[in-house]
Structure 1
C-alpha cells in the first residue's frame, strides 16, 4: 500500500469524517426536537454538534496515543527477540543495524539479503497488519460507543455550551500543567547532571576558576615529562572566562540593537505616516527571517575583516575573530525583535496620556520622553529581555566570528567564546556522558539558566514598580 493510502492515514481520515458526521447529525437532531416540542434550545445548535464530536474524537485520540506508545514498541521488542533467536551469534553492536534493515525490508524499501531476513520481515509485516486491524476495529468501537452515548443525551434541555466550555477549561488547564511539567523536567535533568559534575569538581573551582580547558590533556611519551601533566590530565573547569565572553558578546549586541531598535520603533509609531510605517516595519522584520548561519558568514567574511583592516589603519591589533564582530552582527540580528515589540508596546500606550501632555504645553519630543516611554517601560523591558535571551543563546555567529578560545579578557578586539558554544562542543561527537568533560556542559547550562532567571526577576520587578504609576 502506498504512503498516500497508508493504514494510518486512512484511519485518521475516517476519524475526522466521523467527527464531522456526528456534528451534523447532532445539530440536526436537536433542531428537529426543538421544532417538535416548540421549545427553545439551551445552547446554540453548534454546541450540541461540538459536544457529540468531542465524545467521538477525544476517546479515539487517547486510544491512538496508547497504541502509539504501547503497541508499536511491543511489536519492535518481539521482532528484536526473533532476530536474536534467528542470529544467535550476532554481536549486540550489529543488532540495531539489523533491526533498521528489517524495518526497511518490511516496509518494502529494500530487498531482503537472505531467506532468514525475508522470513523475519514477513513475520513483522504480518504482525504490523494484525496490529493495524486491531487498532482500526478498536478505534471504530470506541467512536461508536462515544457517539451513541452522546447522541442519546442530545436534547434542547442539555446544557451543551456549559459542557463544551468545561471541557475547554480542563484542556487549557492540562496544557498549562504540561508546560509547567516540561519546565520542571528540563530543570531537573540539568540539575541532576550538574550535581554529578559537582561531585567531581568543587563549586569554588568551577565558579571562580580563571582557566577553562575541559578537554583531557594527553600524557607525553616521556615519563619524566609526564609528571608535569598529571595535574592537567583531567582538564580545567573554571567558568569565569566562558561567562565573561558570553556577557561581553551580549553587551556589544545589546549596545547595537537597543538604540537602533528603540529609535526605529519610536519613529514608526510616533512620527512615520501609515504608508511609510507599512514599508519600514516589514522591511525591518525581514531581518528576523534570515538564518543565523547567514549572519555567521556575513560576520566571518565581511565584518571581521573590516574591523581587522580598520584596526590596522588606526594602529590597533584586532583579532581575525573578535567579540566585536560577533556582537555587532548579533546586534543587527536582534534589531527586529526589539523594533517590532517596542513598536507594539509604544502604540498600545493610551492616546489620553499624549493628549494630556499636549494640553499641558509639552512638545512631541517631551511627550515621548517623559510620558510615552515611561508608560511603555514594562513592555520595553520585556522586549529587551527577549533580545538578551536571544543574544545569550546564539551559537553559530559566535563560532564563526568570535572563535572558541576561552580567553580571560574584556577586550572586544580579542577572540572569546560563550557558554552555548562550549555546550555544543562538549556534547557533540563520540563523548561518554559519564565523563567529567561532558557533565561540565550541564553545569554550564544550569548556571546560565540561573543567571538568566535572576536577570528576568530583577527586570520584571523594576518594570512592575514603574508600571504601577500608570495603572
Structure 2
C-alpha cells in the first residue's frame, strides 16, 4: 500500500475515533456533559491521539530503519569483483536501487513478468536474455550481479511494505479500541490528553536537537576522514585550489575563504546602512500611509528566489559595471574584464540582504518602549538626538542579531556567487576580478558521480565544517559584544 494512503487511513481512523470517543463519553453520562470529568472534546481527542500518534510514529520509524536494514542485507550479496576501480560499494548500491525501481517499471510495461522481477532462476530463465530485456526497459546496460541484488532488494522492500502496513493499521485499530474501552464519565481524559501533548512537544524538541547533532557529527566524521587522506596543514595554509580526481590535487582553502569573506563584506556594506536607515525611517519618521506601502514593498525583496538574483547579477549588474569600469567604459579605466566579479555578486547579494536587516531592525526599534522616547523629548532632546542616543542603544542587541543573520545568509549564499562572481579561486584585493566562495566549491565537488572515498569529494565536508566553525565564532563574538554593551547600558 502506498505510504500516502496509509497516512490518510490512519488520519481517518483518528477522525472516526474522535467522534466515537466523544459520543461514548456522553453516552456514559446520560447525555449530560456536566457529569463528565473533562469536556467532551477531550474524550474525543484521547481516542484520536491513541489511534493516530503511535501508528504514525511507527510508520516514521519504519521508513527510516527499513532502507538501512535492506541495504545491509543486500550489500552482502555484492561480490568484491563487482566493485571496479574508481567505484565503491555506495555507488554500486545506488545502481542496485535504481534497477530495483526500474524492475517495477519493466513489469508494468510487460517487458518481464512479476516472477522474473523477483527471482533469477537459471533453470527457468535465460540470464542473458533477461538481462537484455531489463536493459532495454531501463535504457541502460545491467550487470548480472546488480540485477540479482536488485531483485532481492525489490522482494525485501515489498515484504517490508506489507509488514509495515499490517503493523501500522493493527496499532491504529488497537489504540482506538483501547481508548474507547477506557472511555467513561469518570475517565480523566483532560489529564491524559495534556500529558500526551506534552510528550509530543518534548519529542519534537528532541528531534530538532538530534537533527542538529546528526548534522554536526556527519560533518565531524567526514572531515576527520578527509584529514586522514589529506594533510590538515596544507588544507588550512595552502594558497592554491586545484582539485583533480585523477590525483595530484592541491586543496588549499585560503582562496575560497578569502572570496567568501570579501563578497560577504561588500554585501554587508550595501545591506547594513541601507537596511538600518530604512528601518529608522519607517519606524520613527514615516507616516502610517507611507509605512503601509513602503514596508511590504521592501519585504518583497526577501521573497525573490536567489536564482533570480543570480540572473539579475549575470545579465544586468555585471554588464552595467563593465560599461563603467571596463575597457572603453564611462570612466576610461580597464579594471573589469568581464561581468562576473566580486563586486557584481556583492552588490546583488547586498540588495538581497536589505529586507533581512530592515525588517528585523524595524521590529526591534518598534519594541523600544514609547516612554523612553517621551522622556527624552521631555528633557528637550530633538527627534534625531532621541533616535541616536536613546532608541538605537536600546535596540542595539536586536540590530546586532539582524546584522548577524544577514552575515550568515551572505556566507552561505551559493547561486548569486555561481552566476555573478565566477569560479576562479584566487587571492586578490581587486573587487572587479572573478572569484569564488566556499559554498560554490562545495556544490562543484559533490556534483556528478563523485567517489566519496577520495579527498576531492570529502573536502566538501571539510569546507562545510570550516564555515560552521566561522559562523559559530561570529555568533559567540556577537553575543559577547551584546552582553558587554547591555551591562554598560543598564
Q: Give your verdict on TM over 0.5.
A: yes
d(CA) in 1 for partners of 2:256, 2:270: 22
User: Mind listing any 5+ residue stretches in structure 1 that lack a counterpart?
Assistant: 1-5, 85-91, 219-232
Corresponding residue for 1:159? 188
Report the secondary structure of 1:328's partner residue.
Answer: helix
1:53 aligns with 2:48: yes
d(CA) in 1 for partners of 2:454, 2:320: 41
Corresponding residue for 1:313? 330
d(CA) in 2 for partners of 1:405, 1:68: 42
d(CA) in 2 for partners of 1:38, 1:452: 56
Question: Could you tell me whether the CA contact under 8 Å between 2:270 and 2:351 is conserved in 1?
Answer: yes
Match of 2:384 among 362, 365, 385: 365
Corresponding residue for 2:406? 387
User: What is the CA RMSD across the aligned residues, in angstroms?
Assistant: 3.4
Corresponding residue for 1:143? 172
Report the secondary structure of 2:175's partner residue.
Answer: helix
Displacement after TM superposition at 1:273 (Å): 2.5
Corresponding residue for 1:438? 457
Displacement after TM superposition at 1:293 (Å): 1.7
Displacement after TM superposition at 1:331 (Å): 0.5
Report the secondary structure of 2:330's partner residue.
Answer: helix
d(CA) in 1 for partners of 2:217, 2:70: 32
Question: Could you tell me whether the CA contact under 8 Å between 1:112 and 1:118 is conserved in 2?
Answer: no
Question: Could you tell me whether the CA contact under 8 Å between 1:423 and 1:441 is conserved in 2?
Answer: yes
Report the secondary structure of 1:15's partner residue.
Answer: helix
Once the two structures are superposed, what CA deviation does each residue of 1:332-380 show, in whole Å capped at 9, x if it has no partner? Answer: 1111211222222222222222222222222222222222222121211
Corresponding residue for 2:14? 19
In the superposition, relative to structure 1, how do residues 276 and 209 fare at CA in structure 2: closer, same or farther (>3 Å)?
Answer: same
In the superposition, relative to structure 1, how do residues 79 and 112 fare at CA in structure 2: closer, same or farther (>3 Å)?
Answer: farther
d(CA) in 1 for partners of 2:76, 2:106: 17
Corresponding residue for 1:410? 429
**Which segment drifts farther, 200-209 or 452-461?**
200-209
Question: Could you tell me whether the CA contact under 8 Å between 1:245 and 1:410 is conserved in 2?
Answer: no
**Which segment drifts farther, 253-262 or 341-350?**
341-350
In the superposition, relative to structure 1, how do residues 113 and 33 fare at CA in structure 2: closer, same or farther (>3 Å)?
Answer: closer
Matched ranges for 1:2-17 at <5 A: 8-17=3-12
In the superposition, relative to structure 1, how do residues 111 and 365 fare at CA in structure 2: closer, same or farther (>3 Å)?
Answer: farther
d(CA) in 1 for partners of 2:400, 2:288: 26
In the superposition, relative to structure 1, how do residues 293 and 142 fare at CA in structure 2: closer, same or farther (>3 Å)?
Answer: closer
In the superposition, relative to structure 1, how do residues 319 and 187 fare at CA in structure 2: closer, same or farther (>3 Å)?
Answer: farther
**Which segment drifts farther, 7-16 or 205-214?**
7-16
d(CA) in 2 for partners of 1:305, 1:37: 77
In the superposition, relative to structure 1, how do residues 274 and 41 fare at CA in structure 2: closer, same or farther (>3 Å)?
Answer: farther
Corresponding residue for 2:110? 111
Question: Could you tell me whether the CA contact under 8 Å between 1:80 and 1:99 is conserved in 2?
Answer: no
In the superposition, relative to structure 1, how do residues 369 and 317 fare at CA in structure 2: closer, same or farther (>3 Å)?
Answer: same
Number of residue pairs aligned between Structure 1 and Structure 2? 442
d(CA) in 1 for partners of 2:410, 2:253: 19
In the superposition, relative to structure 1, how do residues 103 and 159 fare at CA in structure 2: closer, same or farther (>3 Å)?
Answer: same
